[in-house]
């Protein structure tokens, strides 16, 4: 298929990314309404095998297996189907490279992969495998997924630093319809476990052996087996024979060598029994060796090695800007510092929020009179008892208080306190007289 780009169902095939023994992979896009467009990877069965029932069942099995997996370290499936007799699977597009190309590039330059990133890649692959190995169906039964092809070509590395395991094309699972014949060997010999090379039934620990090979090769920057004779190589792999490079003791710390040795144990029971156990042991060894790695740091290193532009805009740095406490960026001054009022300081921002600009003060006019109904609440009038028309205030004669006439020299006035008390007594007498008159009238 050289007439690219080409429409394939609802996908537009744009570029061929690779071709294998049974399928080819394309970079494609799928469009939708409102300008929606998403890049995807299309794995399409080769035309010469499109009518082969066994091959079509294999790709259908892969789609069925991967559809049950949802993990950040596993390439996610988006769609599967058939277009003009060709079966396909649509995967998320991992924009980056793969571990095989990375090792090839580093080896050609005479360099070495930083140990922290070598451990990071292996730990991420182990996390994805642990998810696949532990998956169960809707009835709680283990799916029994075994990848059987964990190799550098199937470890995808995005420019953002993501590590994703792909290509479950020959994966073994309990619900698979296309079974492997007894004695048939599937996978790449260089990354097989001893039991896989012997044609025996494998379980998830075979995948962990392959992770050990990946860790060995990324730490040493050389293959575990250096043999071009297929038969001799198969015997070596089946026997579980391998050795460290002569300078490994000087270059690779002992804790990391112990993790590799355990992962590559020929005895199944001597290996790590789960991907989680392998990952935890590897992270502990990294901590012991003082190695640190995360996705962002690995992505930045990977982009630098491949001269890929950074995924984020570069930071703006200038001596004329002022650094804010809530940002690591420097904000460019829009005006000349000398033109600012003397009250504005450009030395160092405070932790308090800036004051808002206030409008000029407006002249204040005379107050507006309020309506009477707003000044007094509208309460109902209180009915007070009225005295009779012929009623008169009775004459009340009160004796003068003795202390009012008792002055020191006859010329000084009485104190204000005594005067107030006298007034209070007089008012009380009036009230009592009024009440007495009302009672008598009734």
Catalytic residue IDs = 149
In the sheet that holds 86-92, the strands lie side by side as 6-8, 11-19, 23-31, 37-45, 86-92, 77-83
**Token couple for 133:** 């190995």
Residue 254 and residue 284 in contact, taking contact as beta carbons nearer than 8 Å = no
**Token couple for 231:** 């038969």
Could you list the beta-strand ranges (E) of 126-259: 155-158, 163-165
CA-based torsion, 181, 187, 190, 194: positive or negative: negative
Q: Looking up tokens 């579980």, which residue turns up?
A: 240
117 burial (CB, 10 Å; 0-12 / 13-18 / 19+) is buried
Neighbours of 360 (CB within 10 A): 4
DSSP state for residue 5 in the 8-state scheme: S
What is the rounded radius of gyration, in angstroms, for the C-alpha atoms of the chain? 45
Q: What are phi and psi of 429, to 5 degrees?
A: -65, -40
Please state, in angstroms and rounded to a whole number, the distance separating the CA atoms of residues 62 and 58.
Answer: 6
Please state, in angstroms and rounded to a whole number, the distance separating the CA atoms of residues 298 and 311.
Answer: 13
> What are the residues facing 163 on neighbouring strands?
157
Residue 119 and residue 215 in contact, taking contact as beta carbons nearer than 8 Å = yes
> Cα separations (Å) of 173 from 103, 204, 346?
30, 11, 67
**Token couple for 320:** 């004329």
């Amino acid at each position: 298929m050289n007439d690219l780009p080409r429409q394939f169902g609802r996908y537009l095939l744009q570029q061929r990314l690779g071709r294998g023994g049974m399928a080819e992979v394309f970079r494609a896009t799928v469009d939708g309404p409102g300008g929606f467009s998403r890049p995807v990877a299309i794995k399409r069965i080769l035309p010469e095998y499109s009518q082969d029932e066994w091959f079509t069942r294999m790709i259908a099995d892969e789609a069925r297996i991967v559809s049950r997996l949802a993990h950040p370290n596993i390439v996610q499936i988006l769609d599967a189907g058939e277009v003009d007799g060709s079966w396909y699977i649509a995967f998320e597009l991992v924009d980056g490279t793969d571990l095989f190309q990375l090792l090839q590039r580093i080896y050609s330059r005479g360099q070495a992969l930083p140990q922290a990133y070598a451990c990071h890649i292996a730990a991420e692959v182990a996390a994805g495998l642990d998810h696949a190995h532990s998956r169960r169906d809707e009835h709680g039964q283990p799916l029994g997924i075994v990848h059987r092809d964990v190799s550098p070509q199937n470890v995808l590395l995005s420019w953002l630093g993501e590590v994703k395991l792909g290509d479950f094309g020959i994966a073994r699972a309990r619900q698979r319809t296309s079974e492997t014949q007894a004695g048939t060997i599937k996978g790449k010999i260089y990354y097989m476990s001893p039991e896989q090379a012997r044609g025996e039934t494998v379980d998830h620990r075979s995948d962990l052996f392959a992770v050990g090979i990946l860790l060995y090769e990324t730490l040493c920057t050389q293959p575990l087996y250096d043999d071009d004779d297929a038969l001799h190589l198969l015997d070596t792999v089946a026997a579980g024979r391998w050795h460290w490079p002569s300078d490994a003791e000087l270059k690779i710390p002992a804790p990391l060598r112990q993790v590799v040795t355990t992962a590559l144990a020929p005895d199944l029971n001597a290996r790590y029994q789960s991907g989680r156990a392998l990952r935890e042991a590897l992270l502990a060894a990294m901590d012991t060796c003082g190695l640190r790695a995360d996705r962002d740091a690995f992505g930045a290193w990977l982009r630098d090695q491949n001269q890929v532009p950074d995924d984020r805009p570069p930071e703006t740095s200038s001596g004329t800007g002022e650094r804010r406490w809530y940002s690591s960026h420097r904000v460019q001054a829009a005006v000349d510092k000398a033109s600012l009022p003397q009250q504005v300081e450009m030395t160092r921002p405070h932790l308090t929020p800036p004051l808002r600009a206030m409008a000029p003060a407006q002249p204040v006019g005379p107050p507006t009179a309020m309506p009477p109904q707003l000044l007094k609440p509208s309460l109902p009038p209180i009915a007070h008892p009225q005295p009779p028309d012929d009623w008169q205030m009775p004459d009340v004669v009160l004796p003068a208080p003795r202390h009012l006439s008792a002055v020191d020299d006859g010329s000084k006035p009485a104190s204000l306190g005594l005067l107030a008390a006298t007034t209070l007594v007089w008012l009380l007498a009036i009230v009592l007289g009024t009440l007495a008159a009302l009672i008598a009238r009734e």
